[in-house]
Amino acid sequence: MSLLRAFIALDIPPEVIQSISTVTASLRKETGHTVRWVAPENIHLTLKFLGEVSPANLEHLSAGLAAECEHHPPFDISVKNLGCFPNPRQPRVIWAGLIIPPQLLRLQSQIESAAARLGYAAETRPFSPHLTIGRVREQAGAAELQTLRSLLEKAASGDFGTFTARAVHLYKSDLNPGGPVYTRLNSAPLR
């Protein structure tokens, strides 16, 4: 039985993704091959990366996710601004930021705890909610990075919209030469 690469996430509605795509269109054009941009259909808010999961555990994960989500009503999340990790001098990940409601932090914390009870390693870094929209290629040169920094500074502020989180999803990720393909395995509504 082969293992699945899996994660738990919130979906982002098409209108928010379209807003991000509109603002980043010039960035995409002007950065050339410096950045591998995330396909719009793959933009999501990761709550927990599980790593390798046995198909036999999917039922337990789905049940645990449903049990946690029953304790959380839907809540709003605003998507604003662009930035990069780890910092503007050494950009590796380009992200769209979030106005973080306390409900999101509670939900993520409880999902993290539920996953730990099922034997999945706890994340060692603090939860830093964001939407990954691009990854800077390792071979990017100093001039390319300077251009990217300058473009990000110009496009940094922006309001991409607000959406209501209504369900949490369990996804599998298949890594392909053309980029990852995410398949939804299960959904748990927020009550």
Q: What are the catalytic residues? A: 44, 130
Q: Name the one residue in this structure whose structure tokens are 């780890």.
A: 86
Torsion sign (Cα): 141, 142, 144, 149: positive
Quick check: 114 and 63 in contact, CB under 8 A? no
Q: What's 85-149 look like in SS3?
A: ECCCCCCCEEEEEEECCHHHHHHHHHHHHHHHHCCCCCCCCCCCCCEEEEEECCCCCHHHHHHHH
β-bridge mates for residue 9, sequence order: 46, 169
Nearest to 79 by CA among 27, 10, 173, 25: 10
* Alpha-carbon Rg for the chain in angstroms: 17
